[in-house]
Amino acid sequence: MAAHTSFGVGGAAELYLEPRTAAAMVAAVRALRAADMATVVLGRGTNVLVSDLGVKGAVVCSYPGLSRLEVSGSRVVVAAGVLLGRVCHAAADAGLSGMEAMAGIPGTLGGALFMNAGANGTTIGDLVEAAAVVGPDGETHHVRADEMAFGYRSSNLCEKGWWVIEATLSLASGCTEKVHEKAYGALQQRCAKQPVASPSAGSIFKRPPGDYAGRIVEEVGAKGLRVGGAEISGKHANFIVNVGGATAADVLALIHEAQRRAYEQFGVKLEPEVCMVGEGFGEG
């Protein structure tokens, strides 16, 4: 799975599928559930840490196969495998505002809905009107935004057993030039503050109430700490980067060490934002 995650780590999946159409995605769901095979759904693999022992069962990737993107008035219909950057550009070209703050987030629409991705006070859940999902029964259902229970870096998609096929975003009319400028500004800010040139999974920890995870990790002296080929970024302490040959065990060791120091020094329990997938992961 190292080839299918932004971290560049992870063992083999028992079965790996890349459906190229919505119909193929539905067929995959039905077949895997009929076979009672454990299944993990990924987009571009940007917010996950896959175990060195791999994944027992199937991994289904919506990226790059599910690629539909259509603009109609103030609405944008986006398939699960579409990168958020492409959505930002398409919306800006159409003079639609709302996605600018998420410029530079490397994941897909499906992954963004799963964790309610966002930046600078805006989340994807704020923009979703409805979504088409495949349910546990193998049938396609249309659900409203309020049925997905969006919260801080969370939704109920996993709990409900819903796999996103596509979603409709409701955006606001704006000036094309100004929307592009705002999106570019957000992208510049992200590049200046985050280690975007290094393999990572994005932010490692969720924001603690009233504070920032990166500030805490830096304050406890963990910034720049290295285990094997993994390092807590010297540019932004809420990122762990693969500096070469990192394993999932290396990354997990850094996560646990940062958590330990934060709790011992400040009594803060840092909660991982990154999703841990595969065999052998225990509680940190």
3-state helix, strand, coil in the chain (%, to 5): 30, 25, 40
Q: Which residue has the tokens 């850094």?
A: 254
Residues forming a β-bridge with 261: none
Decide if 203 is catalytic: yes
84-93 and 176-193 are packed helices; what angle lies between their axes, rounded to 10 degrees?
Answer: 150
Cα radius of gyration (the chain): 19
Catalytic residue among 18, 166, 231, 273: 273
Decide if 200 is catalytic: no
- Give the whole-angstrom CA distance, residue 235 versus residue 252: 19
- CA dihedral 151→153→158→159, nearest 10 degrees, is -40
- Give the whole-angstrom CA distance, residue 284 versus residue 262: 13
- Give the whole-angstrom CA distance, residue 103 versus residue 184: 7
Catalytic residue among 30, 75, 86, 153: 153
Amino acid at 148: M
- Give the whole-angstrom CA distance, residue 20 versus residue 25: 8
- Give the whole-angstrom CA distance, residue 202 versus residue 240: 8
Decide if 153 is catalytic: yes
Catalytic residue among 155, 200, 203, 233: 203
Which tokens is 27 given?
């067929």
Catalytically active residues are 153, 203, 273
